[in-house]
Amino acid sequence: AQSVTQPDIHITVSEGASLELRCNYSYGATPYLFWYVQSPGQGLQLLLKYFSGDTLVQGIKGFEAEFKRSQSSFNLRKPSVHWSDAAEYFCAARSYSGNTPLVFGKGTRLSVIA
C-alpha cells in the first residue's frame, strides 16, 4: 500500500539552529511529493513540492527539501530556524498515475526554544 512516514513525532530546536525533518515514502514509482505546514487551528499551507528535475527544491519561508530516490526520502531543511517556524509539518505524496488522492504522513510537531 502507498504510504508516507514521518519518523519524528516531535522535534525541539533552538532558535537560529538548523532543522531537518524526515520523510520517507513507499510507492511503486516515484510520486509527486509535497511539504505542508499547519499552525494551530489553521489549514495547511504549501511549503514546496517536487514533481521532477532538480532534486533540491526551494520553497517559501527559507525552506528547502531534497529528493533522494535511492532512500525514498524527501527531507525538509532550513538553515536557521525562527520562533515563528513552530508549527506542525506534513509530508504528502500523490501517485503519478491517474487521479489519486494525497497521502499524508502523521506530521512532525516543531517546537522552537530561545
Residues that bind another protein (CB under 8 A): 32, 34, 36, 41-46, 49, 51-52, 90, 94, 99-107
**Which residue, 43 or 114, is less far from another protein as judged by CB?**
43
**Which residue, 28 or 101, is less far from another protein as judged by CB?**
101
Output the CA–CA distances (angstroms, integers) from residue 64 to 36, 40, 101, in the order listed.
12, 22, 24
- Collapsing DSSP to helix, strand or coil, 15 comes out as coil
Min. distance of Cβ 105 from another protein in angstroms?
8
DSSP H or E segment with residue 37: strand 32-38
Min. distance of Cβ 10 from another protein in angstroms?
13
CA atoms within 13 A of residue 45's CA, in its CB half-sphere: 14
Min. distance of Cβ 15 from another protein in angstroms?
27
User: DSSP label at 41?
Assistant: T
